[in-house]
Structure 1
Amino acid sequence: MSVNRTELVAAIADKASLTKVQADAALSALQDVLVTSLSKGETVKVTGLLSVERVERAARTGRNPRTGEEIQIPAGYGVKISAGSVLKSAVGK
């Protein structure tokens, strides 16, 4: 089971006593802050909840799963999300 954006907006609106429009605006703002910060190489931390950071990936040799041919994968960036203590304890119950 998963929660889609519409369901998440409705839950935020209910929990925070906001309209769905306000909750959607807040969620969009969070998305913008994450994208902007990560593109600058900054880490975003919400203490106890989560930490999101940009990580470098070195160039490496991979293998095409269809042909078995070796391919060169260029260096790039990825995103690492770490759960905080609140999330860890919620999942552990």
Structure 2
Amino acid sequence: LACSGCVLVFAVFMDLFGVSALLIGVFVPLEIGGRDFGDLLVYSGALLVLMSMGGWVMWYSGNIEGLISGNELTHKRNAVDRFARTLSRRIRKPHRSHSTS
């Protein structure tokens, strides 16, 4: 897992670079050799902002308080495993047909 601070820095930098590229692409006329490169900056800026959303989700989900640890889940997992095994055995068990003759 990545450290929480690293993910936060990634998300903030992606937001800053993305919004900057997007605004430059919209407001600054960028013609080189008769070709307009504003659209390239708009699209790449939007892509960087979308990438930052993944960073924000990872950072936020890594900082949620009160999650149950793996040790606390072992008892519940064992109960769920037993229930699943019992249910699957009942489903797999061939049904006996009753003849009425």
Q: TM-score, normalised by structure 1?
A: 0.30
Say which structure, 1 or 2, has more relative contact order (CA 8 Å, 6+ apart): 2
Q: Which has the larger radius of gyration?
A: 2
TM-score normalised per structure 2: 0.28
Structure ranking higher in helix proportion: 2
Structure richer in strand, relative to its length: 1
